[in-house]
């Protein structure tokens, strides 16, 4: 054999080994990236139901709540003490509840050793009460926002919004539900006994690092932290005994980055009755509902006596390309919550055929349009700056916002203060799941949506509201912008002395 041939053969072997090693590594990463908890564990932990927050009523009729943010330990697994944060407890918070027309005040004390804030996600309220990064609460400090509930019945929620640290604060456990009622929701024949046939379902993914909550983003997870298991209301592998024919689930995706597609293994149809901001015009039958971080859906499921049925999250073929589906979580599946029906069920009235009219604008009276391009570098390519007002809108007007994601990865879009209507998705009439009032929408790569928003005030030219991607890692890294609501002809002012930096007190 010539020397030349020997060199060639050696080289060839080295290349072959390298190719096999790289291929093997890739195959290992590819298969390892697919997460599934389906059928892998029995669900034997009774589902925790967050208590309804106690409240008192002031002389002037204001309903007053108390929340304290604190650190603690939570035993998600027996014998494993996990450091966590919570409101009034060690993990998550109580469910606040108020009716349309009521004045509410929440006294919030920050018992943590770092600054945070509390944002009322989905709530229509003055900008100073919004709890965004301009309303920070120092360690040991208090903040007491107050407003009048002036929007339809809905499943809203509250969570911190400190710029650059929202992901960590939410993932450690700071989140809770805020349920609004109104005359219509009281009268309609919907399941409405909290914790009985009307269940809060706060879904989060998590991963343990020993006893601690892991928050590390794995290789190629460009959406943010993705856990290897889910919990509901802070309960791992939860089940719930139910004894009514119809069960209403108030689904809240309180995960920091993960999108779910909820349904049932037997493919049964359920009725979507409400989206983020409240009731649809009529119940919409479907067998899947997709929720990205921050979104809510109320669904009503019909139970059969004696059965056990799993609420499951299924793989999502609209999530992106094969790469994104595999490494970004779109291929993953989870058993989420087992419903165990009693041998005999209390009869439930049929769902009403009509739920009422939408209050969201249809866009026909829009006075202007705006464009938002979702990019990792920032919305419209500009990273968040707390001192810069990006958009100025006039109180009392309707606008149409066009939001586009061509960024190669999934994003979503959340607007503070308003509930909007989705007019179009890629030029088409939106699917039933997007026809109710929304404050957060999921935009996989290649999606353009047109949204109609009405800004009914009040005006405050110096205090901005936020719009942002609610994949919290993206938000923290700057995918956020600010808008102010002004009176006609008024100018926006520089946000007043509010840096949002930790260690800085803001009114």
Q: Which two tokens stand for residue 288?
A: 């899947």
In the complex, the smallest distance separating the C-beta of residue 371 from Cu ion, rounded to whole angstroms, is 17
Q: Does 375 bind Cu ion (CB under 5 A)?
A: no
In the complex, the smallest distance separating the C-beta of residue 384 from Cu ion, rounded to whole angstroms, is 12
Task: Indicate the residue among 178 and 372 with the shorter CB distance to Cu ion.
Answer: 372
Q: Does 411 bind Cu ion (CB under 5 A)?
A: yes
Burial class of 428 by CB neighbour count within 10 A (0 to 12, 13 to 18, 19+): exposed
Stretch that binds Cu ion, among 126-134, 208-216, 354-362, 473-481 (CB under 5 A): 473-481
Report the 3 state secondary structure along 345-378.
Answer: EECCCCCCCCCCCCCCCCCCCEEEEEEEECCCCC
Q: Does 163 bind Cu ion (CB under 5 A)?
A: no
In the complex, the smallest distance separating the C-beta of residue 224 from Cu ion, rounded to whole angstroms, is 8
Task: Indicate the residue among 66 and 477 with the shorter CB distance to Cu ion.
Answer: 477
Contact pick of 441, 474, 478, 486 for Cu ion (by CB under 5 A): 474
Q: Are 51 and 176 in contact (CB under 8 A)?
A: no
Task: Indicate the residue among 143 and 473 with the shorter CB distance to Cu ion.
Answer: 473
Write the DSSP assignment of 246-300 as a string of letters.
EEEEEEEE--SS--EEEE-TT---EEEEEETTEEEEEEEEES-EEE-TT-EEEEE
Task: Indicate the residue among 169 and 474 with the shorter CB distance to Cu ion.
Answer: 474
Q: Which residues, numbered 333-352, are part of the site for Cu ion (CB under 5 A)?
A: none
In the complex, the smallest distance separating the C-beta of residue 377 from Cu ion, rounded to whole angstroms, is 11
In the complex, the smallest distance separating the C-beta of residue 134 from Cu ion, rounded to whole angstroms, is 22
Residues touching Cu ion: how many (CB under 5 A)?
Answer: 4
Burial class of 266 by CB neighbour count within 10 A (0 to 12, 13 to 18, 19+): exposed
Length of the chain as a residue count? 507
Stretch that binds Cu ion, among 134-142, 250-258, 312-320, 470-478 (CB under 5 A): 470-478
In the complex, the smallest distance separating the C-beta of residue 411 from Cu ion, rounded to whole angstroms, is 3
In the complex, the smallest distance separating the C-beta of residue 474 from Cu ion, rounded to whole angstroms, is 3
Stretch that binds Cu ion, among 81-89, 131-139, 199-207, 467-475 (CB under 5 A): 467-475
Please list the residues that pair with 229 across neighbouring strands: 206
Q: Are 399 and 453 in contact (CB under 8 A)?
A: yes
Q: Does 471 bind Cu ion (CB under 5 A)?
A: yes
Pairing of the two strands 246-253 and 198-206: parallel
Task: Indicate the residue among 134 and 474 with the shorter CB distance to Cu ion.
Answer: 474
Task: Indicate the residue among 116 and 407 with the shorter CB distance to Cu ion.
Answer: 407
462: which residues sit within 8 A by CB, 6+ positions away?
484, 492, 493, 494, 495, 496
In the complex, the smallest distance separating the C-beta of residue 191 from Cu ion, rounded to whole angstroms, is 34
Question: Would you call the peptide bond into 458 cis, given omega within 30 degrees of 0 as the criterion?
Answer: yes
Contact pick of 246, 449, 451, 469 for Cu ion (by CB under 5 A): 469
In the complex, the smallest distance separating the C-beta of residue 469 from Cu ion, rounded to whole angstroms, is 3
Q: Does 443 bind Cu ion (CB under 5 A)?
A: no
Give the whole-angstrom CA distance, residue 497 versus residue 386.
Answer: 10
Task: Indicate the residue among 171 and 248 with the shorter CB distance to Cu ion.
Answer: 171
411: which residues sit within 8 A by CB, 6+ positions away?
374, 405, 443, 469, 471, 474, 479
Residues that bind Cu ion (CB under 5 A): 411, 469, 471, 474
């Amino acid at each position: 054999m010539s020397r030349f041939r020997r060199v060639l053969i050696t080289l060839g072997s080295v290349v072959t080994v390298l190719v096999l090693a790289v291929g093997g590594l890739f195959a290992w990463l590819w298969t390892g990236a697919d997460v599934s908890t389906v059928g892998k564990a029995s669900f034997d932990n009774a589902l925790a139901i967050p208590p309804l927050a106690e409240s008192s009523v002031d002389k002037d009729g204001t309903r007053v709540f108390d929340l304290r943010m604190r650190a603690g330990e939570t035993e998600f697994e027996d014998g494993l003490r996990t450091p966590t944060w919570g409101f009034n407890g060690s993990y998550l918070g109580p469910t606040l509840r108020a009716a349309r027309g009521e004045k509410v005040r929440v006294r919030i004390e920050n018992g943590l050793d770092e600054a945070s804030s509390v944002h009322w996600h989905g709530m229509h309220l003055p900008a100073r009460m919004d709890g965004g990064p301009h309303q920070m609460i120092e360690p040991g400090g208090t903040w007491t926002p107050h407003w009048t509930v002036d929007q339809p019945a809905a499943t809203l929620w509250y969570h911190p919004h400190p710029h650059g640290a929202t992901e960590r604060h939410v993932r450690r456990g700071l989140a809770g539900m805020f349920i609004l009622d109104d005359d219509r929701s009281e009268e309609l024949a919907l399941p409405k006994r909290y914790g009985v046939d009307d269940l809060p379902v706060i879904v989060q993914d998590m991963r343990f690092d020993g006893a601690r909550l892991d928050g590390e983003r794995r290789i190629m997870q460009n959406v943010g932290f993705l856990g290897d298991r889910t919990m509901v209301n802070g309960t791992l592998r939860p089940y719930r005994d139910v004894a009514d024919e119809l069960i209403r689930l108030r689904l809240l995706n309180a995960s920091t980055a993960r999108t779910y597609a909820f349904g049932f293994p037997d493919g049964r149809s359920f009725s979507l009755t409400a989206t983020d901001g409240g009731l649809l015009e009529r119940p919409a039958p479907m067998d899947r509902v997709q929720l990205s971080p921050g979104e809510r859906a109320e669904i009503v499921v019909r139970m059969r006596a004696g059965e056990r049925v799993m609420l499951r999250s299924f793989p999502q073929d609209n999530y992106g390309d094969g790469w994104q589906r595999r490494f970004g979580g779109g291929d993953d599946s989870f058993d989420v919550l087992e419903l165990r029906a009693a041998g005999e069920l209390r009869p439930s009235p049929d769902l009403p055929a009509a739920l009422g009219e939408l209050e969201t604008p249809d866009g026909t009276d829009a006075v202007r349009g705006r464009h938002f391009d979702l990019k990792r570098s920032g919305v419209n390519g500009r990273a968040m700056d707390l001192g810069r007002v990006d958009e100025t809108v006039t109180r009392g007007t309707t606008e149409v916002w066009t939001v586009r994601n061509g960024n190669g990865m999934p994003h979503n879009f959340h607007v503070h203060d308003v509930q909007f209507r989705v007019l179009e998705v890629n030029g088409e009439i939106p699917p039933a799941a997007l026809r109710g009032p929304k404050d957060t929408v999921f935009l996989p790569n290649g999606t353009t949506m047109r949204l109609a928003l009405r800004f009914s005030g009040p005006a405050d030219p110096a205090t901005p509201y936020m719009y942002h991607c609610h994949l919290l890692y993206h938000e923290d890294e700057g995918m956020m912008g600010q808008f102010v609501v002004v009176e006609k002809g008024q100018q926006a002012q520089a946000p007043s002395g509010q840096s949002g930096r930790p260690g800085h007190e803001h009114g």
